[in-house]
Amino acid sequence: MLRVEGVRVLLGEQRHVAVDDATLAVGDGEVLAVLGPSGCGKSTLLRAIAGLEPVAAGTIAWDDADLAGVPTHRRGFALMFQDGQLFDHLSVAANVGYAPRLRGAARRRVRGEVDDLLELVGLAGYGERLPRTLSGGERQRVALARSLAARPRLLLLDEPLSALDADLRVRLADDLRRILRDAGTAAVLVTHDHDEAFAVADRLAVMRGGRLVQQGAVAQVWAAPADAETARFLGYPVVLEGQAARRALTAAGASAPVDAGGGGDGGDGGGGGGAVQVALRAGAARISPGGALTGRVVALRARADGLRVDVDVEGLGVLPALAGGGGGGGADGGSFLPPDVGDAVRVDLVADRIAVLPG
Amino acid sequence: MIDRAVATRHLGTAASVLVALVPLVIVAVFFVLPVGAMLQRGLWPEGRFAPGAVLDVLARPRTGRVLWFTLWTSTVGTALSLALGLPAAYVLHRLRFPGRAVLRAVVLVPFVLPTVVVGLAVRELLGEGGLLGGLGLDGTPAAILIGLVFFNVAVVVRTVGVAWEGLDRRPAEAAAALGATPAQVLRTVTLPALRPAIVAAASVVFLFCATAFGVVLVLGGVRYSSVETEIYLLTADLLDLPAAAALSIVQLAAVAVLLAGVARLRRGPDPTVRRLPAAPACPTRRDLPAIGVTALALVGLALPIAALVAGSLRRDGGWSLAHYRALGGDAGGLLPGPVTDALTASVRTAVDATWMSLLLGGLVALTVTRRVRTRRARRVRAGLDALFMLPLGVSAVTLGFGFLIALDSGPLDLRTSPLLVPIAQALVALPLVVRTLVPVLGGIDDRQRQAAASLGAGPLRAWTTVDLAAVRRPLLAAAGFAFAVSLGEFGATSFIARPAEPTLPVVIYRLLGRPGVDNEGTAMAAAVLLAAVTALVVLAVERLRVPGTGAW
């Protein structure tokens, strides 16, 4: 397994700290996603693991063997770049077969292996094409097949899907998870897109300003973000503090009990009157005739999953709320009338879409 | 509205045809005509087509020896230049160390040193009493090879270095991450990416070696002759025009074949090259061999210059400035005036040649980078591109002699015109100017012009905003190179310089042709002077930091 301990990486002529005190571990067959905004140092961390950036402090080890001084090509970690970095002068088959040929495998065996891998990534028959004739998604698939052909003990994926458009990204993310699972290769995936991280990884490490701020199983990190900024980055559009947070908890508690962990924290925060923070996920607020909160509609936005209504909720501020047939809102039948800007509405908070942040 | 749009487009087409026509006419009159006249003298000796004479010449044993000598010295010279130049290109363009900028500029200097100066410097180094005189290489082909390598290493360093500098580091990293050792990365990723640049450098070096004139003339004497010096001997000394024409034809054909083959070789499977200048890295232990070769190359470049300077300062076994003082005199009546007058004449000629080649080269660059839509237009453009590169492959001696015999009657009687020499030199410098401007103009993203147009800029305004801004510094750099080339031009100038107004390289050669310690010393002092002026110009150009300057 990969063990990274207290790693610090300095970049550029100014030697500014790109990664500081990073500690993480990746078990056999496990996929870890390092999630963070652009410029947070996540790609640098990945390059340091690959041996492409010198480490200023800390250790990177594989199965308890320190990798300091081991050059990139002897680490057995295949790195897949954001834009694939296919060798433009080589055909698709030659790209995929690059690593086996380096190992001196027989031409015939390489060809079989390449065909299998192209089949795996869904590009059977593309062998003779040149990289520049491929679409962005196809290039990334070839890059993935090329990395897998190296039979790496660890696969390093640097924003593998970021260069693709949204639609393709979702499909490829599912493919990527399936392929990684089938290959059984441990992988570190670096991305700024939480959907990509959720779709592919088993575990999540959130990185910000060169530091890892939270780690854990995907569901765990997602349910309990470490702080407000992490919550926003994980896709919670609203974070409430202080009085507003307590009011939101009460409202959610009034319609349904908050889950065990959150409830404890909530009680704590409510009692102490300290800096309690509550993060609301999309869909946490719903317009409902029986809602505990009152508010006024300030804007309407049509979205693919229904009408988004921005409601200025008394004591909480402006929240995006869901209005529409589904869920509790549709209780009184199909004759749902969308509200208008300026309407007074009642708003309900859904407990399992709320996360209480540790002070 | 539509009529006006059509009219505007017609106007645009007419303007671009005009832009293409001016250099076309000039190249036709001052290049195709003289070279054609030269060939005609050989193939139609008495007004009748008689190719037999040419074939007879080719059957002569001496011709065979000359061809063979040219071929093998050029091949070995190219190989040696690559062997020294490739590691130096890596070290000077890919590693970070103090003094890098200075060394890069210094390496560039030999490329523009006048060939006569290079020949003289190598002779001084290897000759009797020279620093390496003990090796006994003076008067051997090895001396010629040293001279050829001396000024072609710069071409390799420059051409390949610029490409290497712009080479994205990530494909190499991707290969390493796939398990490729540094040597395997070099072989499978880096060298294929550099192939166009290496092929281009090798072919240009081969071309320069094969058509080298001054170096071979000074170092080879009569014993060793290349095609180029043989053409000179046949025309100037023996007046055997059919033989000279025969060799010119062989040379022209060989160059055409070479250029066509190179164009094919350069085309890799994927012509697009991703450019992402990589920050230079700190040298590591693995770089030691390359650094060693670079140091060797630098010493090799410095030695002949040092020998030349030392030689110019020595007289009768002691140090003296006598040779420099002699520059004020006319070498005992050998020259029409003081040597310093020749320098003035050289500078004046070079200024004229510079503006001519810039004007011409600018128009050519505009023409060959113009965006065209139809296939036919593209073919016309490719043809023009090749035509304007021809002066690179045609012997300057042929050109010079062609000037003498073609421009001697009617409205073209320019033999006594002071513009004749600058025109010839401008043509010699033309490919260099074009090659400096074309990558810049061709590299401008067309969307920039479209953006300018969409913001309300008319065609002319868009052109000044986008094109002119991009090409301003390369234009200055091209001017510097044209000036340096013209200062040192010897092949064509040796034919057409007016006797009363010789340029400095011609004077140096004349001084060398007259035995005598003082004459040789004066020649060396003059060579140092010429080299200093050229070096200053090139160093000034280098300070402009034009990306891709001199990359072929």
Map A265-309 to HEC letters.
HHHHHHHHCCCCEEEECCCCEEECCCCCEEEEEEEEEEECCEEEE
Residue B188: its chain A contacts at CB < 8 A? 87, 98, 102
CA–CA dist B246, B44 (Å, integer): 11
Q: Which residues in chain B are closer than 8 Å to A71, comparing Cβ atoms?
A: 176, 182
Q: Residues A22-47: pLDDT tens digits?
A: 999 999 889 999 999 888 999 999 99
Instruction: Give the number of other Cβ atoms within 10 Å of residue B20's Cβ.
Output: 19
Angle of the B469-488 helix axis to the B339-369 helix axis, nearest 10: 140
DSSP 8-class letter at B128 = T
How far CA A289 is from CA of A247, A315, A328, A349, in Å, comes to 19, 19, 9, 12
Q: What's the confidence (pLDDT) of residue A259?
A: 43
Q: Specify whether the CB–CB gap between A191 and A156 falls below 8 A.
A: no
If pLDDT is split at 50, 70 and 90, which confidence band does B3 have? Answer: low
- Taking the CA of residue A129 and the nearest CA in chain B, the distance in Å comes to 11
Q: How confident is the model at residue B278 (pLDDT cuts 50, 70, 90)?
A: low
| Alpha-carbon span B148 to B122, nearest angstrom | 10
Q: Name the residue among A73, A78, A85 with its Cβ closest to that of B181.
A: A73
Of B396, B405, B390, nearest to B241 by C-alpha is B405
A79 and B174 within 8 Å at the Cβ level: the answer is yes
d(CA A33, CA A206): 8
Could you count the other beta carbons within 10 Å of the beta carbon of residue B72? 12
State the pLDDT at residue A7. 93
CA-to-CA distance for B154 and B205, rounded, in angstroms? 10
Report how far residue A177's alpha carbon sits from residue A161's, in angstroms, rounded to the nearest whole number.
Answer: 12
Structure token digits, residue A315: 């004591």
Q: What residues contact B93, with CB distance under 8 A and at least 6 apart?
A: B104, B157, B161, B162, B164, B165, B280
β-sheet bridge partners, residue A190 = A34, A158
Q: CB neighbours (10 Å) of residue A340?
A: 9
- pLDDT number for residue B412: 67
**DSSP per position, A140-163:** HHHHHHHHHHT--SEEEEESTTTT
Interatomic CA distance for residues B287 and A66, integer angstroms: 25
Q: Which residue's entry shows tokens 């908070």?
A: A349
Chain B contact set for A156 (CB, 8 A): 177
Amino acid type, A282: A
Selected for mutation to probe chain B from A44, A73, A132 (highest B CB count within 10 Å) is A73
The pLDDT value given to residue A324: 60
Angle, CA A229 vertex, CA A227 and CA A230 arms, to 5°: 65
Contact A145, A120 (CB under 8 A): yes
Residue B315 has pLDDT above 90, yes or no: no
CA A237 – CA B529 distance, rounded (Å): 74
Read off the tokens for A82: 């954001």
pLDDT value of residue A115: 93
Test mutation, B173, B178, B189, chain A, max A CBs within 10 A? B178
Question: Confidence class of residue B72 from pLDDT cuts 50, 70 and 90?
Answer: very high
- Tell me how far apart the alpha carbons of residues A250 and A266 are, in angstroms, rounded to a whole number: 9
Output DSSP code: residue A311: E
Residue type, B297: A
Q: Is the dihedral of CA B173, B176, B181, B187 positive or negative?
A: negative
Mutate which: A15, A49, A91, A98, vs B, most B CBs within 10 A: A98
- What backbone torsions phi and psi does residue B319 show, to the nearest 5 degrees? -80, 140
HSE of B260 in the Cβ direction (CA atoms, 13 Å)?
7
Asked if B175 lies within 8 A of A98 by C-beta distance, the reply is: yes
Mutate to test the interface with B, among A89, A91, A92, A128 (most CBs of B within 10 A): A89
Residues 6 or more apart whose CB falls under 8 angstroms from that of B227 comprise: B66, B67, B70, B210, B211, B247, B250, B251, B395
Q: Where are the alpha helices (DSSP H) in B326-468?
A: 339-369, 375-393, 396-406, 420-442, 446-454, 459-462
- Measure the CA–CA gap between A185 and A145, rounded to whole angstroms: 13
SS3 A313: strand
- Share above pLDDT 70 across residues of chain A, in percent, rounded to a whole number: 89
Q: Are B258 and B70 in contact (CB under 8 A)?
A: no
pLDDT of residue B271: 44
Type and span of the H or E element at A344: strand A344-349
Average pLDDT value for chain A: 83
Determine the 3-state secondary structure of B224 from DSSP.
coil
Answer for the pair B176, B453: CB distance below 8 angstroms, yes or no.
Answer: no
B395-410 pLDDT tens trace = 778 888 788 778 776 6
Q: Would the pLDDT of B443 be above 80?
A: no
In this complex, the residue of A50, A79, A89 whose CB is nearest that of residue B269 is A89
Q: Min CA distance, A212 vs chain B (Å)?
A: 24
Q: Show residues of chain B in contact with A90, CB under 8 Å.
A: 269
Residue B458 falls in which region: left (phi positive, over 0), alpha (psi -120 to 50) or beta: beta
The secondary element (H helix, E strand) that includes residue A319 is strand A317-323
Q: How far is CA A163 from the centre of its chain?
A: 15
Q: Flag if A89 and B270 touch (Cβ within 8 Å).
A: yes
CA distance A257 to A263: 8
Q: How far apart are CA A257 and CA A352, in angstroms?
A: 9
Q: Using one digit for the tens of pLDDT, what is the confidence trace for A97-117? A: 998 888 888 889 999 999 998
* Type of residue found at A230: T
Give backbone dihedrals phi and psi of B395, rounded to 5 degrees, phi first.
-55, 130
> Which chain B residues contact residue A52 at CB under 8 A?
173, 176-177
Mean pLDDT of A257-282: 53
Write down the pLDDT at residue A161: 84
Chain A residues inside the 8 Å CB shell of B177 = 50, 52, 72-73, 77-79, 147, 150, 156
Name the 3-class secondary structure at B130. coil
pLDDT on residue B482: 87
- Residue from B425, B407, B402 nearest B506 by CA: B425
CB atoms within 10 A of CB B129: 10
* Mean pLDDT, residues B516-525: 80
Is the pLDDT confidence value at B502 over 90?
A: no
Give the count of beta carbons closer than 10 Å to the beta carbon of residue B85. 31
Is residue A18 within 8 A of residue A44, CB to CB? The reply is yes
Q: What is the DSSP letter of A80?
A: E
Contact assessment for residue B164 and residue B191, using Cβ atoms and an 8 Å cutoff: no
pLDDT tens across A197-228, in order? 888 899 999 999 899 999 999 888 888 888 88
Q: Do B179 and A50 touch (CB under 8 A)?
A: no
Minimum-distance CB partner of B176 among A72, A88, A90: A72
Interface contact A156-B177, CB threshold 8 A? yes
* Cα distance between residue A280 and residue A247, in whole Å: 13
What's the confidence (pLDDT) of residue B277?
A: 61
**In Å, how far is B537's CA from the nearest CA of chain A?**
32
Q: Which of B177, B189, B269 sits opposite A79 (nearest CB)?
A: B177
